[in-house]
Structure formats: structure tokens, C-alpha cells
Amino acid sequence: MDANEFETNALIVHQEATGTGPQEFEGEEILMEDDVPDDEDPRERDAFEIEKAVNEFRDEPSILHDEYPDSDNDEDEDVVRERKRENSRRGGGNLYYHQTFFNEIAFKEVVLDHALKTGCNIAQYMYDKDKVAFKCDGDGCVWRIYCAVPKKCPKWRVNVFKDVHTCIPNGDCEMLKVPVISRLFLDNIREEPQYFMPMKIEETIKKRWKITVSRPQCQAARRKALRWIEREHDEQFARLQDYAAEIRESNKDSTVEIQTLRNDAGEEVFNRFYVCFDAIKRTWIESCRPLIGVDGTFMKGKVKGQLLVALGRDADNAIYPIAWDGDGFIMVSDRQKGLIRAVELELPKVKHRMCVRHIYENLKKNHWKDKEMKKYVWDLAWSYNEKAYEAGLTRLYNYNVAVWRDVVKSKPRTWCRAFYKQGNYCEDVENNSTESFNNSIVKARDKAFVPMLETIRRLAMVRIAMRSVESHEHKGRCTPYVSKFLAKEFEKASEMKIRRSTNDMYEAERGVDYQRICLTERTCTCQKWQICGIPCEHAYGVILDKKLEVEDYVCHWFRTPMWKKNYINGIFPQRGPAFWPSTEHPNVHVPPPPPQPGRKKGKESKKDKKRKKGKNESPTKMAPKDMKRVMHCGICGDAGHNSRFHKKKKSLVQAFEGVISQVAQGSQVEPSQGVVMSQG
């Protein structure tokens, strides 16, 4: 296969673009006049946000196996969203003398965090190009701080700091002006513009920080945030071609593709963005196992679409971002029909594994009351040979025939280890790697389009640098993942009873478990060694009995030299937007919102906005209807009429009683009596 067919470290952003015109928030009129001037450069704000995300990044741990999921209960989307609203927190606001900052915005953000944390009335009293100062406006308070850029120093530094508050917070804070409130709630408004209305913003500030702001302030702040969102996407997409050119220039031979669609106005509207860094592509081909995990996560904010990622594994079994096309490889994904068809058409020779976690989630939809089937399904997926697989199916059949029938329909041979191709040395049955990666870019997805891409690129660069240091400082022959793996096997291995045969063959016995091991061929009849690439408990027992070094029998994919090779080459740093090359490509315009399946057109009523329950959820219990008020007459007290119709009611009753009396006596009723009756 041509190595150029491989596309590695790919971030594919897909937008289903239909129609024309920029997106508008539903029911929201965005005013374009600037009621409050901006007090900072948007590029500096983007740089600060990206740097903040990088500083808060924590490397993803190695992926471990054979651990049951923590919970069966998928939280409702509304519950997750509500927790995110409640748990949105700022930094600690810690300040000290000679503290340094990335730029002016970073300093002002920490001062703002301090004001929100203490509730003190902090206000800015000095502003210049290279110096800023704040003080507390509380009665007689001496707290103040001064930060400036020293000569021959690129960073801002705190030169004066009196960290003493002698005032008592009164709910007022001069720092919380309209632009500051806008930035505090910008990400929230970007994601939920209809929820964070002025009253909700006012209530949130009061509840979270014990600070009082006015309703007009919140109205102006929300309008300003909406203008920023509208403007930032126009500006970001206008420079998307320049950003792609910077990637190609700074990382030679990298692939960047932008696909656009032409609308009725003749404008190039964004549809897809794809990036692959050459250094990581070559590294993956040379030093990573042939395994791929594919998944997507929805983008937030104004531009709707999906961020698609492809991930492999390094020697320490940690995630490694990739994308590719080829033969003799394995893909692990969820059961998305579009993805299944795409793999069958474009990658017919690729072994496509299904993610058992998604299989199990689908089973829960039909068997949501069954709390015990989790163990049976996961044990079946963890079977390393056909005998164990058949035994697992039998146990599941004896437990619940309906569950067994649905499991068989899901084609378990596509997600059970017993049928994995040997020699790829990866026992994954779930797509946890992509879930882990998606969790690491949650904050990036909240940003505008180009800052989102740049944040993900920066995180990938930092991840490689961190792991390069870690791998080169590691002293063991194998990676830390191998140590954790063998630690779990040691207890069973030490209990094995070993019998030697000829041709370097051994028999391992533990209870009723007998297996045949060949150290020369590195095989065990349980097949775990062949699938994992690390000795199983039976082989480990033989190695212990012969007093050999177990690391000599670990596959080369998991050795420290291969781990170091994974992170020799990395992504080259890039320049800031001011230095991006200018291209002659036409500007890319913001895509229109894609049609949402199942959503009604036009304005929805309050009833339509309520979440529709799934077919397996308990229905909404209807309260018993209250009995309607019964009308009573104020004159006679009888039910069925009021005093206004008392005489009419009385006359009708008397007439009816007269008719009944005459019928009972057998007399003829005259029409003039006001009642017509027929006898048959």
C-alpha cells in the first residue's frame, strides 16, 4: 500500500450545508449597533483561551480492559445540561507578588476571578498599553494591584500588590460591566441562547457569586454576546483558507482540505474541513499497531455539525489520533449505519469491529428493566476462544431467552474477542479511546471554528511533547501498561501447576482449567496471548516455573524503544493569525443551520418544547381530573341551574311532570302543552 494513502491525526469537521444565509438564533433579533465598546482585541482573547485550555490539559491514561462499566444508567440530556450549568466555575483568583502572565487578558481574568471569589467591589483605575492597575472601591479598603511589562521581558508581571481587604462585600462590583458579563456567559449563550435570557443571567450571577447586577446590564450583555457570536464566525470563516495555508507551510507535506458548496448567491459556503499532519502520519505507519477507533462528537454553538476523529494506540496503549485507508487493518466503531456502509464500500478489506458498549446500550432500550444482563453481555465479549464464547451464549440463554435472541441478532462475532484476527495485538471490545479523546476536547468544542481547530492542534502538539519526555525517561524494558497488565495476571499465574512436555511445550493446570502453552511459538490454547501480545496467566505460570524473564515474551509493540519511537516526531509550532499567509481563494462563508430530523418547522409551542420520552421510559403519570364546579340555584338550591333560569327551569319541570302523569293515565297529550311525544 502506498503510504500516501494514510491520513493521520485527522480531524474531519463535517457540516450538512443546505440553504443559504447566515444562521440566526430562533426568535432572537440581534442588534448591530455597539451600545458598549469592546475593550480588548479578539485575537488576544482567542490566544488567551487557547493557552488556558492547553495549560489545563491533562494527558489521557492508558486504556485498561476487562472492567465493567461503572453505571447502567444513561443520564438524561437535560440532567447533564443542568449539571453543566450549575458546575460552571471560574479559576481560584490566586494572586501574588511578582506573578507573571501570558498577556494582559490573562492578568485581568485572574483579577476578575478574585473579585468573583471574594465579592469585593474591585475596579480598574489605570490602563495603558503596557500597564494595568486595579483597586478595591470598598469603604476605606487598601487592596490594590499593579501589573506591567518590564523592560526586556515579554511577560506581564505584578509589581505592586497589597493583599488586604478591609471592607465588607455589599453585592456591588465595578468590574462586572457589560463586556465582562458578556464574556462570562459567552459559551453558555453560544450553546443555549434561548435558556440564558437576561433574567436567568441576573439570577445566575446573584446565586453563584452573590453580586447584584441590573436587568438592563444583562440585556445589553446578552445582545453583545450574540453580536460577538455572529461576528466571530464571519471573521473566522473568512480566514479559514489562510489558516489552512499556515498549516501547510509550517508542517510540510501535511494534508489540509476544505470543501465548500456554492449557494444561490454564488458564495462558497463551508461544508467540510480535514487536516492530517505528516509527521504523525509517518509515525503511525512505522510504530503503531494496525487498529483504528472512529467516532464523532457534535459541535456546539452557532455552527452545527460533527467533529470526526480517528484514533489508534501507542506502545503504552494510550490514544494516538489517526485516519487512514488500507488493507490488513482493524476498525472499531459504534453501530452507525452510515459508517458501516461507508466502511463496506470504501474499505472492503478492513476488519470492522463493533463497540460492545453501544451494543449493550441498544439492548437496554428493549430490556431496560433487566439490571443483571450487563455481566453476561460483557463476559461474552471478553471470551478469548470459541469454547468460552459458546459457554457464554449458553449462560445468557439460560438467564434470559429474549436477551439472548437480541444478542444473536447483533452479530456477536463482530464484537467478541474469540473471533479477532490474531497478530494485531489489541483486545479492545469497546471504543473507549475516542470517548476519552472527545472528553479532552470538550472546552475546544465551545469555541469559534478556527480557535476550536487551533486548540485541538495545540493539544495534540502538547500531548506528543509530554509523552516524548515520559517515554524517554522511562527505565523499564516494557511500557507501564505492560506492568499493569502482568500485575493482574500474576496472582493466577502463581497458582498454576506446570507439566513439561517435548518441543518446548507445557501444560498449565489451575483447578479444572487446562491449557497447552508453547514458549517458542508464543501461543496458548486460551488464545489470550496471541490476541493481546502479552503473556496470559497460563504462559506467565510457565515463565515463573522456569524462572525466565516475562518481559522477554512481550510483543515488540509494547516495548519501551517502540514507545520512544511513537513520539520522536511531533507537530511543528505555528505562527499567530497576524502572520498567516494571505491566499487568493474566495472567502468561505458561514454555513446555514442543517435541518434537524424530527423537528417541526415554524414556531413551537410550549408543549412542543417539552422533551419527548423514549418508548421504554415510564409514561408521564396524569393526575386525576378535578370535578367541575356544579351550578346551584340561589333560590331553590337545586343543581343544574342558577337563579336567572329558576322560573324557566321550574315551568319545564312542571310541564314534564304533567306529561308523565297524563301518559300514565292513558290520556292524549295536546301539542299546545309544549311537549311532543310519540307512541308506537
The 10s digit of each residue's pLDDT in 626-658 is 556 777 787 777 777 777 777 665 565 565 455
Same domain, 117 and 194: yes
pLDDT at position 340 is 56
**Position 133 confidence tier, pLDDT thresholds 50, 70, 90:** very high
Q: Is the pLDDT of residue 324 over 70?
A: no
191 and 115, same domain (yes or no): yes
**Cβ-contact 68, 374 below 8 angstroms:** yes
SS3 assignment for 522-563: CEECCCHHHHHCCCCHHHHHHHHHCCCCHHHHCCHHHEHHHH
CA 591 to chain centre: 22
Query: DSSP secondary-structure letter at 239?
Result: T
Torsion angle of the four alpha carbons 413, 345, 291, 539, in this order, in degrees rounded to the nearest 10: 30
pLDDT digits (tens, 9 = 90+) for 494-513: 999 999 998 889 999 998 88
Confidence check: pLDDT of 242 > 70: yes
Examine the pLDDT at 405 and tell me if it is beyond 50.
yes
On whether both 409 and 492 belong to a single domain, the answer is no
**pLDDT tens across 182-239, in order?**
989 988 888 788 888 999 999 999 999 999 999 999 999 999 988 888 787 777 788 8
Q: Are residues 118 and 215 in the same domain?
A: yes
pTM above 0.85, yes or no: no
What residues make up the domain containing 163?
88-220
Final residue of a structural domain among 516, 542, 558: 558
Identify the weakest region by mean pLDDT among 347-351, 423-427, 529-533, 586-590: 347-351
Considering the domain architecture, whether residues 131 and 207 belong to the same structural domain is answered as yes
The three cell numbers of residue 451 are 480557535
Range in 70-79, 160-169, 280-289, 451-460 with the lowest mean pLDDT: 70-79
Residue range 464-479: mean pLDDT, rounded: 93
pLDDT at 28: 42
**Residue 121 within a domain:** yes
Residue 291 lies in a domain: no
Residues 411 and 531 in one domain: no
Q: What is the pLDDT of residues 431-442, one digit of tens each?
A: 766 667 777 777
Please indicate, yes or no, if residue 3 is contained in any of the structural domains: no
Which region among 257-271, 403-417, 612-626 has the lowest average model confidence (pLDDT)? Answer: 612-626
Angle at 564 (CA atoms; ends 560, 568), nearest 5 degrees: 170
Average pLDDT, integer, range 87-115: 84
CB 224 within 8 A of CB 182: yes
Q: Is 384 domain-assigned?
A: yes
Q: What angle do CA 446, 452, 456 make, to 5 degrees?
A: 115
> Which H/E stretch holds residue 298?
strand 291-298
pLDDT over 70 at 101, yes or no: yes
Measured distance CA(224)–CA(227) in Å, rounded: 5
Q: Which pLDDT value is given to residue 585? A: 87
In a domain, 522, yes or no: yes
pLDDT, average across residues 159-165: 93
Would you say residue 46 has pLDDT above 70? yes
Q: Are residues 377 and 484 in the same domain?
A: no
Q: How much is the mean pLDDT over the chain? A: 78
Q: What is the mean pLDDT of residues 521-538?
A: 95
Radius of gyration, alpha carbons of the chain: 35
Alpha carbon separation from 209 to 114, 144, 178 (Å, rounded): 11, 21, 16
CA 340 to chain centre: 22
Domain count, the chain: 4
CB 357 within 8 A of CB 430: yes
Sign of the Cα torsion 440, 534, 465, 58 reads positive
Residue 318 resides in a domain: no
209 in the same domain as 112: yes
Q: Which of 406, 428, 450 is the last residue of a domain?
A: 428
Among the listed residues 172, 278, 154, the one whose alpha carbon sits nearest the alpha carbon of residue 217: 172
Mean pLDDT score, 167-173: 91
Domain assignment present for residue 161? The answer is: yes
pLDDT at 132 over 90: yes
For the residues 254-280, what does the mean pLDDT come to? 88
Q: What angle do CA 102, 104, 106 make, to 5 degrees?
A: 55
Closest to 285 (Cα-Cα) out of 2, 572, 570, 479:
2
Q: Which three cell numbers stand for residue 586?
A: 474566495
Confidence bin at 23 (pLDDT 50/70/90): very low
Instruction: Check: CB of residue 590 under 8 Å from CB of residue 238.
Output: no
Q: Judge if 117 and 189 occupy the same domain.
A: yes
Distance CA 143, CA 161 (A): 8
CA distance 226 to 56: 27
The average pLDDT across 598-622 equals: 52
Confirm whether 463 is domain-assigned: no
Is there a single domain that holds both residue 414 and residue 501? no
Domain boundary among 187, 220, 253: 220
